[in-house]
Amino acid sequence: MRILIVCSGNAPNFDLQKHQAFIYDQVESLKEVDATLEFDYFLITGKGLWGYLLCFPHLLQQLRRGRYHLIHAHVVMASLLATMQRRVPVVTTFHGSDINDPRLRMLSLLADVLSRKTIYVSQQLKKKAVYASPKKSFVIPCGVNFSLFMPRSKQQSRQQLGLSPDRTYILFSSGFDNPVKNYGLAKKAIDLLKEDTIELLELKNYTRADVALLLTAVDLALITSFSEGSSQFLKEALACNCPVVSTDVGDARVVMGNIEGCYITSYKPDDVAASIRSALTYQSPLQSRDHMGRFDNQLIAKQIRDVYSQC
């Protein structure tokens, strides 16, 4: 089966493994679990409705050249572009940046109707898509590469990254300039702790290997987002046995479950600060990786392959 992956390629200095890492990792895992699957990418480089429409003739050209059995589109705008043609069936994955945005929810309805099958990365996201058909929709989160995201020596990781052994590092879930990730709340909470040794690190312009290393070097991973689908940052942190403090966003409560040393918090700065303090002073070594087996990339890839087979 030959499959065309349709997704955005708009980021400056675009690098598939960096800017669409969860898609790249998923494709590589699919290749590993089923050698009969072949993949190509169609990267959308235009912005806005007109930019996407300008890509449509190029998409048709690639479909004619490639003789694809299936298109897998990621996020609503990519899906709408892919479903403008009706010859090749489309599987759409909704990641949250679409359905969580009220402005895109109706477009998501249209994408759902036009797609052969739909995948939602969390049950919470699917519930928002009240139109989701039980016969054609699936809940499948993005998986984690457990060979890359794994526990390591904190001391050695800090040495590799040039981090001080004497500071307390908290890794924020994204760039500080991403409004959805709510950096303002994170900063207010850190300021309330009044600890000069605490440093909040921005997750921006790192390779996947660097992120995996960072999650074993820092003392805490912090999520204060207004909205999420199913946070990869959360799952990857837990796979590294890195303590997490997160707002009750996306499926964070479900993923974290009752893992001791990790905390769900409100959006009040003093609550976030209290949870950070509790996580930093938790005495026992975190064993969160033991709870993450269901997110193994290989298992997720097999579920997606089964969806392909139904098209």
Domain membership of residue 173 as a residue range: 154-293
pLDDT of the residue at 21: 87
For the stretch 90-133, pLDDT in tens is 999 999 888 888 888 888 889 999 999 999 999 988 888 877 77
Average pLDDT per 10 consecutive residues for the chain, totaling 311 residues:
94 80 94 96 85 91 94 95 96 92 86 94 86 85 95 97 97 96 98 96 92 98 95 97 96 94 97 98 91 95 97 92
240 part of a folded domain:
yes
Residues 159, 246: one domain? yes
Residues 285, 179: one domain? yes
Query: What is the number of residues in the chain?
Result: 311
- What is this structure's pTM? 0.91
Q: State the CB neighbour count (10 A cutoff) for residue 164.
A: 10
For the stretch 43-61, pLDDT in tens is 998 777 788 889 999 999 9
Residues 24, 122: one domain? yes
Residues 87, 161: one domain? no
43 part of a folded domain:
yes
Q: What is the DSSP letter of 301?
A: H
Joined together, the tokens standing for residue 135 give: 């016969």
Q: With 0-12 CB in 10 A as exposed, 13-18 as middle and 19+ as buried, what is 252? A: buried
Please, which residues have CB within 8 angstroms of residue 98's CB and are 6 or more apart in sequence?
75, 76, 77, 104, 105, 107, 108, 111
One-letter amino acid of 13: N
Residues 276, 300: one domain? no
148 part of a folded domain:
no
**CATH number where 273 lies:** 3.40.50.2000
CA distance 213 to 211: 5
Residues 128, 195: one domain? no
Could you give the C-alpha distances from 161 to 238, 241, 306, in angstroms and in order? 20, 18, 40
One-letter amino acid of 279: A
pLDDT of the residue at 307: 97
Residues 211, 194: one domain? yes
pLDDT of the residue at 207: 87
Residues 274, 301: one domain? no
CA distance 108 to 227: 16
pLDDT of the residue at 105: 83
Residues 71, 178: one domain? no
One-letter amino acid of 133: S
- Among residues 87, 37, 80, 91, the alpha carbon closest in space to that of 64 is found at 87
70 part of a folded domain:
yes
Residues 100, 67: one domain? yes
CA distance 240 to 4: 32
Residues 35, 168: one domain? no
149 part of a folded domain:
no
Residues 120, 177: one domain? no
Could you give the C-alpha distances from 205 to 19, 148, 294, in angstroms and in order? 9, 18, 29
Q: What is the DSSP letter of 31?
A: H
pLDDT of the residue at 106: 85
* Structural domains of the chain, count: 2
CA distance 123 to 140: 9
Query: With the CA atoms of 151, 295, 20 and 186 taken in that order, what torsion angle do they form, in degrees rounded to the nearest 10?
Result: -60
pLDDT of the residue at 242: 97
